[in-house]
Structure formats: structure tokens, C-alpha cells
Chains A and B, each alone.
Chain A
């Protein structure tokens, strides 16, 4: 409990990629997972940043993701390198690819016991409040 409370006080670390990160998290607060789409080349990306990483254009708009994705890979932490997560061990972190293209880091929730190979499995968005934020997490699609 104390870990969680102190994490909320500290807040999340600042984004490496500039101001668009604030709008991304604000949309999640309203339950919407968004990503950026380039007006010049059509590329879609996450995490939020100020220029298109493909063509460098600053001309982009937000788009709402459907929230359906595929598991690219995942790991299980047995050591808490970040002390805020000590009491959650073991916990998973996954990389998923949204159907619209962008990839993101997330957690997989409500996993059945004994699940082994999750790579390639279809997953869907669950927005959960945790650590003072609305977090985009994913559960296995039925």
C-alpha cells in the first residue's frame, strides 16, 4: 500500500517525447486509447511525439484506436527493479501491436492459470485506474 501511495505522490516520470504525451494520457482518462496519424505520409505511431518518425512531418492528428491488438511478446518480472512493483511480483509486461499498426507496452490482465505461449494471441483493451492514472491494459479476446 505504502509503495502505491508514494508512487501516486511522485507521479509518473515525464515523457521523453514532448507535450503530445499529455493529450494521450488525458484521452485515456476519458476511456479512449488514441494514437497519432501523420497527415503527410499516413503513418500511425505511439508513443506520442512531436514529429512523424517516418517522414519527420509535424503535421499529424489524433485517431481513436479500436482497442484490438495482437501480443508481440511478453515477460514475467520476478525481480522488482522498480521498487513500486515489489508487492506485485510476479507481474507481466507485454508488447502488443494495435490493429491500426502502432505498438505499445502494456500489462496483460485476467490471464488464465497455466497459460504458456501468448505470442500471437488476440487481445482487447481494458482501461484500468492504477498508480494515479488511467492505464491501457489488455485481456485475451474470447
Chain B
């Protein structure tokens, strides 16, 4: 299937505080822009893949959105793999197209935890809440403490990741947070759940993003202006509580990445730019190691001398990522991967021909990977 499906169009809303906008309205704006970007008629779309809005879960949300959009999809539904949903939906869309179940698919995500409700993020975790164990950030902090212990790395690595994302976001006119970060600012930022600081944590954002997926063949027939081939994809799901994982610093990200690399016929050495899910800096560190960009504990070698910045060894999150562009879960990273392959990023990596994108949900419970090409 390598290269047989393409991302034909991308669209997104503004990011940040968008008071008074429903997730339906946000989804529709992103979809309208994605379809226009692909240059196709709305009525050509016959599949609708939707990520559940995490902040307020409701039944049959996909059908509700389809109705609002005046659609009766041949294939569709709501996916719930947290932030990993987006790449998974794109890969399911590609497989459905390959199987002849649909021809043109919209994949879309919207949420409004910033001005709407965050209730789903703040609920206590079962019986363990009685120990004060709650919040997503604490799950990542529990992993981060073990990671620093096992690898012997200093939090400088986390600072390097945050600094690269924030530098790239500062150049991005769409980014919610456009303040570059220095190492001193990182070190001075307050603890949230130690060992994670405020500047290790992603933003909370309202917003939406959408992509149009179709076959490469159809994109050619429809004169889609800038289709970007999907070279590979993969998933992996740890599906268990953080405290119960035999090794806190091992997830299924490696399985997901290896599946995607195998499909693409590529390895980490062939990747020019990376959009890695950065809900927290620890997520990026563990994902890059799981993808074999370096051995476990050797991340400092990539980070050295601005390695994560444009011009460095592995340019990372070139639109600012979740730490700077928008805390929206995941699809914005795919959009930036598409821009890099089109040569239209505000932080364009010279001669970038391949981009790896990671999506990740829960507390590294679930993982999805995609490799884009030209």
C-alpha cells in the first residue's frame, strides 16, 4: 500500500481560546478548508472519520457531525484512541479506500477544553484517587522520573525538546504560544507534578483540524494541486494503567514505528523531519528512542548543538507542536508534515523528502505512526 493513498487537502481553525464555538462548528470549519485545499467538491466526500471530543464525550457524535454537514457517509464513525486517533483514522481511511469501501474520506478532530469543559481530563482515577493520584500530567511525571533514573539523563534533554518546539512556534503566525524559551526560563518554570515543570506541559487549546484522504490515482484524476503520499503507518496499544506496566519506560510506540517503517521500506536514517507528539517533553524523548533514532539514553547526542531545530540533525515539531502551536491532540502534527512535504512550512527544512509523524493517546497507552513522502 506504500504511496497508494495521499493526503489531498488540509485545513484548520485558529488555535487557542475560541469562546462560543461548538465542536461541530469547529469541525465544519476545518473540513470546509481541507476540502477547499484539496480542490474537490464536498459531494465527492463519502467517508467521515471523527475523533471523539475528549473534553465532553457524547454518544453517536460522528452521526451528529455527518448530519450537520449534510452527509450520509459510506464509511464513518468516531475513534477513541486519545491523541493517537488521528493517524489511526487516516490509516483506516486509506485501508477502506484500498478495499473499495469509499473513495474520498474526511478525517477530522475538534475540541474546546479551553473555553468549554475539561471535565473528562480532571476526573479522579478509580480507587487510587484516594492517594491523591489524579491528572494526566502525574502519569507522565511518574514515567519521567523512572526515565531519568534509568537513563541517567538530566532534565536538560527535556529543556532541549521544549526549546526547539517553542522556537519553531515563535515563527508560526498560527501558533497559540509564540514566546521562545531559554534554558534558564525552563529551569525557572514552576513544578506542576515533579519532575515535570510547566514548560514540559502542552497547551490547552480550542480548535480543529481536518485532512482529506484519497487514492493517489484519484488525486491525479481530480487534479488535486498538492497531494502528499502516505508511505507507511502503524499502531500499538499498551492498554494498561501506568503503574501496572512491567517497565514504565517501554510502550508500544516501538511496534508502531517499526510497522510504519517496514511498510515504507525506510529506517530512521532516511527521515528528514519529525513531528512527534509532545503532550509532554518526556513523550518526545521516549518516542524518538522507541523509533530507534538513537539508543535508549543516548538522546543527548541528537539534542546537542540545537539538533532538534531546523538545520539540526533531526528538526522536530516545525510548527511548534503541542507545546507551542496548539495543545489540540495530534492532527496539527500531520498538517505540518504535509506542509513540510509540500515545501510550504514557515520553518521549512531544506530538501525534506520524508517526514515521520507520531500520535499518542492516554498516558502513552496508545500510539500511532505515519510516514509521509513526496
* A binding-site residues for B, Cβ under 8 Å: 12-17, 21, 25, 47, 72-82, 84-85, 88, 90-91, 93, 95, 103-107, 117, 119-120, 130-131, 133, 135
Contact = CB atoms under 8 A, between A and B. Distances in A.
A103 B127 CA distance: 14
B133 A105 contact: yes
B85 to A, nearest CB: 22
A101 to B, nearest CB: 10
B164 to A, nearest CB: 25
B131 A106 contact: yes
B129 A77 contact: no
A135 B130 contact: yes
B244 interface: yes
A135 B138 CA distance: 20
Given A75-B141, A81-B138, A93 B131 contact: yes
A82 B142 contact: no
A82 B130 CA distance: 10
Contacts of B126: 13-17, 47
B193 A78 contact: yes
B22 interface: no
A72 B130 contact: no
A142 B193 CA distance: 28
A95 B191 contact: no
A140 B186 CA distance: 32
Nearest to A21: B127
Contacts of A84: 132
Contacts of B248: 72-73, 95
Interface residues of B, number: 30
A73 B142 contact: yes
B135 interface: yes
A61 to B, nearest CB: 20
Interface stretch (B13-21, B50-58, B143-151, B269-277): B143-151
B305 interface: no
B149 A103 contact: no
20 contacts: A17-B126, A21-B127, A72-B243, A72-B248, A73-B142, A74-B142, A74-B145, A75-B145, A77-B138, A77-B193, A79-B193, A82-B124, A82-B129, A85-B132, A90-B191, A91-B132, A95-B242, A95-B248, A117-B149, A119-B149
A133 B242 CA distance: 24
The residue among A13, A75, A103 with the most chain B CB atoms within 10 A of its own CB is A75
Contact of A107 (B127, B129, B132, B134): B132
B253 to A, nearest CB: 19
B190 interface: yes
Contact of A78 (B134, B190, B242): B190
The residue among B133, B141, B248 with the most chain A CB atoms within 10 A of its own CB is B133
B195 interface: yes
B191 A73 contact: no
B138 A72 contact: no
B131 A81 contact: no
B122 interface: yes
Contacts of A93: 131-133, 138, 142
A12 B130 contact: yes
A75 B149 contact: no
B194 A79 contact: no
For the complex of A and B, 8 pairs with smallest distance between CB atoms: A81-B135, A76-B194, A73-B146, A105-B128, A78-B191, A75-B141, A95-B243, A16-B126
B143 A73 contact: yes
B192 interface: yes
Interface in B86-142: 122, 124, 126-135, 137-138, 141-142
Contacts of A77: 132, 138, 193-194
Given A82-B134, A93-B138, A13 B129 contact: yes
A95 to B, nearest CB: 4
B145 A119 contact: yes
A76 to B, nearest CB: 4
Contacts of B145: 73-75, 119
Nearest to A106: B131
B138 A105 contact: no
A20 to B, nearest CB: 11
Contacts of B192: 78-79
B206 to A, nearest CB: 20
Given A72-B248, A78-B193, A79-B192, A47 B132 contact: no
A103 to B, nearest CB: 5
Contacts of A107: 131-132
B191 to A, nearest CB: 4
Nearest to A76: B194
B124 A13 contact: yes
Contacts of B242: 95
Contacts of A21: 127
